[in-house]
Structure 1
């Protein structure tokens, strides 16, 4: 065998050995910026909270409890257990103005209350290797309230109970460039509410089922 023939033979053998290894590596290696198993996605959003009454009733004076809409910042973190299954934890800061409407005394200002909503939502992501990655989630919503401020006048004291409910979520992540993602997200909360004023002289209870619509940016680690 001549030297050039030996070189060609060795090259052929080397190519035959390396091609299957390269193919296997290409099949198992995921793009580093995709949302796949082991990914951590941190997002920041601005959310609009549409808090309309839904069957709340007020003792003694009648009417219903109206909650003001608001805009609030939030931050969340999603961990991907698999390419499709993730769990998201979210928190923010919410300020709400309460008004008793259509009562026998007319419209009565109740006061203001703040809360730090906490959501824990398992999610299913449909297209982990796509630039567009829509997802659905159902989880738990916890609303611990604090800093309840009575409006004064007819309402001298205000207390709002902490609540636990259900959150339904629909959203989409869009990979903008590298590890950066844009996000649009809609949530529906199902929970009860209970508030008392003037040390229990007045009380309101019922369903408060707000829509939460948000948009923001995320970074994939």
Structure 2
């Protein structure tokens, strides 16, 4: 759960959308039939960059007496994702995504830098968004928003937690909000398109470290990841 992947994430998001904007200007106008319309299903295969913010906002339990200045971060990750959306009308769709991303959690302050506290935490970011599309010269930029549920699986104590006697780590599953923007650019008139998508999630998690059955450490983290994707869309 990292500190916001800072300006790097914002710059990357701007670069991706800027590239898409250049493509919009350069792309020839496609027939209206090249774009998804009411009743269509559109599937997307994407490469996704996940950059979370993991600042500790509260320390609720601290039996080992960790410094109050303790902070953590998780590594960014790149992972494949699949999105499926149904067009309710020509310009309104409902989309869900499927994917999993993995992160290690390391100390950045209060403990030796790089001390691994959580290992191989796998996140399933279940998300459903309602999207509003705009037809602009044969392309479809869009904005969207919807609920998200972060489901953590497979998280284990990190190498630095084991000497403290930690036997189990748990990251709480939580509900949150996702905001979304992007664009679909037709590549032919049979439903193949380039898709660029940027999401910002607003969601927290509570991290717990146990020694046997005893809760030794409990911290609350702001996640709020940027999730930046690019790939291909296929209309059915």
Q: Secondary structure at the match of 2:154?
A: strand
Q: Secondary structure at the match of 1:153?
A: helix
Please tell me the root mean square deviation across aligned C-alpha atoms, in Å.
1.8
Residue 129 of structure 2: which of 121, 124, 130 is its match? 121
Q: Determine the structure 1 residue equivalent to 2:112.
A: 106
Q: What is the distance in 2 between the residues matched to 1:85 and 1:165?
A: 22
2:81/2:100 contact within 8 Å kept: yes
Q: What is the distance in 2 between the residues matched to 1:55 and 1:84?
A: 40
* 2:197 pairs with 1:185: yes
2:32/2:138 contact within 8 Å kept: no
Q: Determine the structure 2 residue equivalent to 1:69.
A: 76
Q: Determine the structure 1 residue equivalent to 2:232.
A: 217
Shift of 1:56: 3.2
Q: What is the distance in 1 between the residues matched to 2:223 and 2:206?
A: 10
Task: Provide TM-score, normalisation by structure 2.
Answer: 0.75
What number of residue pairs does the alignment pair up?
A: 190
Aligned positions of 1:1-221 closer than 5 A: 31-58=32-59, 59=62, 60-61=65-66, 62=68, 63-103=70-110, 105-107=111-113, 108-112=115-119, 113-127=121-135, 130-151=137-158, 152-154=162-164, 155-177=166-188, 178-198=190-210, 199-221=214-236
Shift of 1:140: 0.8
Shift of 1:163: 1.2
Structure 2 stretches lacking a partner, 5+ long: 1-30
Over residues 86-131 of structure 1, what are the superposed CA-to-partner deviations in whole Å (9 max), with x where a residue is unaligned?
010112011011123312x43431122112111100000011x743
Task: Provide TM-score, normalisation by structure 1.
Answer: 0.80
Shift of 1:55: 4.4
Q: Greater relative contact order: 1 or 2 (C-alpha under 8 angstroms, separation 6 or more)?
A: 2
Q: What is the distance in 2 between the residues matched to 1:94 and 1:166?
A: 18
Q: What is the distance in 2 between the residues matched to 1:200 and 1:183?
A: 45
Q: What is the distance in 1 between the residues matched to 2:223 and 2:33?
A: 42
Rg (Cα) greater in structure: 1
Structure 1 stretches lacking a partner, 5+ long: 1-29
